[in-house]
């Protein structure tokens, strides 16, 4: 117990949680995730019954883990069969989405809508406001929100983006004149700005490039 206690003090947060879960399995075996095999496992001894020639085999009996894996495989297979059968019986009708074929086939079933915003210097921010249902012309409002977000949590974002120099670059990129042409240094950099958008609006940002 003393060794475990010392080891516990040396671990980080994730390590402590992992060690505590192991100890909990030992202290409360009835509460762990293990399940019994579907039938009694033969651990030793040979069968006494006379077997036909084609029934004789030198293959050993399944171990405990093999029984559990086999049970899970059968259950999952049944689930997949039921799911595929029901999906064939009740197909969902999808509306025609423009430009859907420009995405990889493995992603197409997950896409509910595609919005094509005006392609110029503020297009990244236009995409964000449209997805937030604020109207495409509200892109300057998003820039203002994100600038305030960076200013309010400056120390945290400096650590996140790798220093004060990069942090100041991001802040400057948000300041634009609506009447003048937006230069490339003012374009959205989703690699860094994605964190700011996610934090400010409490959403998940995924970039498919």
Q: Is residue 105 part of a domain?
A: no
Q: Is residue 196 located within the same domain as residue 131? A: yes
Q: Is residue 114 part of a domain?
A: no
Q: Is residue 23 part of a domain?
A: yes
Q: Which domain holds residue 148?
A: 123-201
pLDDT, tens digit, for every residue of 13-26? 777 877 887 887 78
Q: Is residue 98 part of a domain?
A: no
Per-residue pLDDT for 184 more than 60?
yes
Q: Is residue 107 part of a domain?
A: no
How many domains is the chain built from? Answer: 2
- Is 182:122 a contact under the CB 8 Å cutoff? yes
How many angstroms separate the CA atoms of 123 and 120, rounded? 5
Q: Is residue 208 part of a domain?
A: no
Q: Is residue 133 part of a domain?
A: yes
Q: How many CA atoms are closer than 13 Å to the CA of 140, on its beta-carbon side?
A: 8
Q: Is residue 171 part of a domain?
A: yes
Provide the whole-model pTM. Answer: 0.49
Mean pLDDT of the chain: 75
pLDDT, tens digit, for every residue of 42-67? 666 655 555 555 555 555 555 555 55
């Amino acid at each position: 117990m003393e060794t475990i206690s010392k080891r516990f003090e040396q671990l980080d947060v994730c390590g402590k949680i992992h060690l505590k879960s192991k100890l909990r399995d030992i202290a409360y075996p009835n509460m762990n995730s293990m399940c019994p095999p579907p039938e009694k496992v033969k651990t030793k001894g040979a069968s006494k019954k006379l077997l036909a020639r084609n029934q004789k085999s030198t293959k050993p009996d399944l171990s405990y883990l093999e029984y559990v894996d086999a049970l899970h495989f059968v259950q999952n297979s049944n689930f997949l069969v039921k799911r595929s059968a029901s999906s064939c019986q009740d197909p969902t009708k999808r509306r025609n989405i423009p430009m859907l074929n420009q995405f990889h086939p493995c992603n197409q079933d997950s896409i509910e809508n595609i919005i094509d915003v005006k392609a110029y210097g503020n297009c990244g921010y236009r995409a964000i406001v449209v997805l937030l249902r604020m109207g495409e012309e509200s892109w300057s409002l998003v820039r203002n929100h994100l600038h305030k977000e960076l200013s309010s949590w400056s120390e945290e974002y400096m650590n996140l983006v790798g220093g004060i120099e990069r942090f100041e670059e991001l802040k400057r990129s948000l300041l634009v004149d609506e009447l003048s042409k937006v230069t490339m240094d003012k374009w959205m950099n989703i690699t860094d700005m994605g964190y700011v958008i996610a934090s400010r609006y409490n959403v998940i940002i995924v970039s498919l490039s």
